[in-house]
Structure 1
Amino acid sequence: MNQRRGVQNVDFQDRYERGYAAPRPDGMRGMEPQGPMVPPQQGGGVPYDSGRPRPRRGRRIRRLLISVLVLLLLVVGGTYFWIDSNLRKEVDLGKVVDRPGGGEGTNYLIVGSDSREGMSKQQEKDLHTGAAEGKRTDSMMILHVGAGDSTLISLPRDSNVNIPTFRGSESGRMQPAMGANKLNAAYAFDGPQLLTRTVEYNTGLRIDHYAEIGFAGFANVVDAMGGVDMNLDKGFQDKWSGADFQAGEQTLDGKQALAYVRTRHAFTGSDLDRTKNQQKFLSTLSNQAASPSTALNPFKLYPLMGAGLDTLVVDKDMNPYQLGRMFLAMKDVNSGQGKSMNMPISGSVGGNLAWDMPKVKQLVNELRSDDPVTVTSDR
């Protein structure tokens, strides 16, 4: 065995294989284990120390997923509070007196009014709305949402109903009953609260939430979507609403959509035919608004929500969750997972439409129990 300056001559290859470092040139000890070593490669490559901890790919993926989840929660939470803070919660259903008991599911009273709020004279002319003062109901629907399929029921504005005693929305004082009248007269007399009181009194069904949109808001929502695709069974014209449609598939802009849902003089059935068109359009609108191409595209979704929130009036207990549930239920009705119908009619009284009360009672019982609706409307 040879010695040089007190250091044994050792087999360096053996040291590499055993995982020890070579002696240091200055004679100091450098024999501590360094982990398995790879001999230098030809060409002077540096040995790779395989004992070093490798980056943990799974940890990076988990951190990325957590970051994405946190960002998503912030966006969803921010959107929720933005919608909630911009909802016009102007209707206090707590002031409605003598209310019927609640049942299963949730009942929405959805109203389209002829409010011209925020419209210029030119817009009133372009949209064929006229310039009448005040507000009236142009359409009224009850939407029932429960554990099963949703049901959308149109209430013709010429329905013959009794307007009962009520608490004035402004005075807060009890007002006497107004007797037999058209349903839309209730809204004209004292607004959403009296309309809700009248619907509850004549049906026995408790209304949980109220949502109303005016002419301008309706047209703006349609335009924000880029139009609504409709397939019309037949063409029709109506100089009062400005309707001028051909049969077949077409995309309606805000002006055309408003004319479509307001048309009544072009139909022999007048108000009943119009309510069917309103149901068809609103369900189609909800279906397209909830489609992935809109709901997952912030450049379409946020302008759409902004356009609707500007003129959407709701009750004080409405929140974004309930509002979203309402639109998704209308989407289901359009896709065939629900039922749409007119309130059952049995004839007329003084030119107004008389409800078929035995059928109405059966319908209300089915809705209150959240049972499948078996009642049909003959018109």
Structure 2
Amino acid sequence: MRRLTAGLTVLAGLASWPWLGAQTAPAADGPAARDSGRGTNILIVGIDSRTGLSAGEKRRLHVGGEGCDCTDVMMLVHLSEDRRRASVVSIPRDSYVEYAAPEGTTGAAPRGKINGAFKIGRGPLAVRTVEKVTGLSVDHYLETGFTGFEQAVNDLGGATVCSDKPLKDENSGLDITAGTHHLDGNRALGYARARHLDPPGDLGRVRRQQRMLADLLEGLTVRGALADPVKAADTARRLLRSVRTDVGTGMNDLIGIGWTLGRLPADRVEFATVPIAHFDHRVPGVGSTLLWHESRSRALWEALRADRPITGDTRILPVPETRAETNPARITVRVDDAEVATALRRSRFLVTDTSASAPAERPAGPPLITFPDGREADANTLAAALPGARLRAAARADGIFDVTVGSEPIVVKTVTYDRNVAEGAPVTADRLRCAGSPPPAS
């Protein structure tokens, strides 16, 4: 009887879901271009604050350093108007933006890292700043801290993560081997916070967060935790124990959001990171920041406002003629042909010209790339610049790639490396998540 009563209560509330129809009014201080658009936008943030944590909790969570009292994670989730697609866009914490004006202030708004808006004006200013810089209206706001994240992951059955190499970061407590792992909330927090990995910085961490969220949603779907409004209501109640919301977001909103996400196949859930133009923009008094790519980020927000998919949009992610999957600037190459060496430098490979010691008679065939064991991805990048080249792995400790030019004519292509592609390109969840279904909750 209790389950039936709960079900009737939830179903009765469906008619009042505000996110199914009318949107919240845009904030008054944002740009004129901002409007609610179509669909529903939810801002999800994780807070970096040690307030209220005991010494034991700090040790257990590996958060012994000084907190910034700012947003450590920021994701904007867009649910399409027809509820058949979800787009999740991560906004890196070091994005350099102009804040919305704090309540009751006049004059020019300050600029800084987007994560600092929370410290100035808490959740309301974080929301209004996101609205200002994206031109979108935020309809719902969800916020959690370290312990809240830990509890939420535990309540939702844990998180599945995977990696093709061991991951260890002493600062966050992350220490996992290569492969697939089902993590509890404590270990999932370490995975989500890790920044001191290869490649270092925020974008790699953001992509890992997206992978974890994709698998978390898949796990909830597999376990039927979002299969109908009643089950979604139970999941929402558990979530509310560890997540704070704005005054305009209630139980029915969370049920509706969860039910929508639970019915979406993985190829209808998109993940992306705001495209970056400058990864180390130095600002006095602020430090190293990220500058958004103006035209590509604008295209991203326009697509969401128009309720269009973000995957496959070449305005957001142009397709180069020859794409490098890894960074040529981190690949050291010795080349026994001066012209080839010069051409490879145009793509920023670190090239040493060894043509002075090249044999008088070239070996038959196309060029040969001899590369260190375990550097297959970098070998493929070099091979993209040398179409038709043969590849041969070798055990070598110096990390150098050798190119031996053969007797056949050789064409060197200029390859384009885009860090946004490697760490934040728009992609659907079925391509992002771990292979196979997540295990059931223990």
Residue aligning to 2:72: 138
Query: What's the CA shift string for 1:216-258, capped at 9, x where partnerless?
Result: 1111122234422322232211111000011112210111000
Q: Please give the per-residue CA displacement for 1:14-34, whole angstroms capped at 9, x wherever unaligned.
A: xxxxxxxxxxxxxxxxxxxxx
1 or 2 for the larger relative contact order (CA 8 Å, sep ≥6)? 1
Amino acid at match of 1:356: H
Tell me, yes or no, if the aligned pair for 1:204 and 1:364 is still in contact at 8 Å. yes
Mapping for residues 206-221 of structure 1, pairs under 5 Å: 206-221=137-152
Structure 2 distance, partners of 1:75, 1:108, is 26
Superposed, which structure 2 residues align to 1:56-205 within 5 Å? 72-77=3-8, 96-99=27-30, 100-116=34-50, 119-130=53-64, 132=66, 135-146=69-80, 147=82, 148-167=84-103, 173-205=104-136
Conserved in 2, the CA contact under 8 Å of 1:220 and 1:307? no
1:53 aligned partner: none
Q: Which has the larger radius of gyration?
A: 1
Alignment match of 1:318 (pick from 237, 241, 249): 249
State the one-letter code of the partner of 2:74. Answer: M
Identity among equivalent pairs (%): 30
C-alpha distance in structure 1 between counterparts of 2:260 and 2:177, whole Å: 29
- The reply on whether 1:357 has 2:357 as its aligned counterpart is no
**Which structure 2 residues correspond to residues 203-352 of structure 1 after superposition, within 5 A?**
203-294=134-225, 305-327=236-258, 335-348=266-279, 349-350=281-282, 351-352=288-289
1:105 is displaced (CA, Å) by: 0.3
Q: What is the TM-score when the length of structure 2 is the normalising length?
A: 0.60
Does the 8 Å CA contact 1:287/1:330 hold for their aligned counterparts?
no
Long gaps (5+) in structure 1: 1-69, 83-92, 168-172
Which amino acid is the alignment partner of residue 112 of structure 1? G
Superposed displacement of residue 357, structure 1: 1.4
What secondary structure does 2:181 align onto? Answer: strand
Counterpart in the other structure of 1:371: 308
SS at match of 1:138: strand
Which has the larger helix fraction?
Answer: 1
Amino acid corresponding to residue 139 of structure 1 in structure 2: V
Note the C-alpha offset of 1:280.
Answer: 1.3
Distance 2:105 2:4 in 1: 47
Query: 1:325: how far off?
Result: 3.9
Residue of structure 1 in register with 2:324 after alignment: none
C-alpha contact 1:116 1:216 (8 A) present in aligned 2: no
How many pairs does the alignment contain? 294
Read off the aligned partner of 1:102 and give its amino acid letter: S
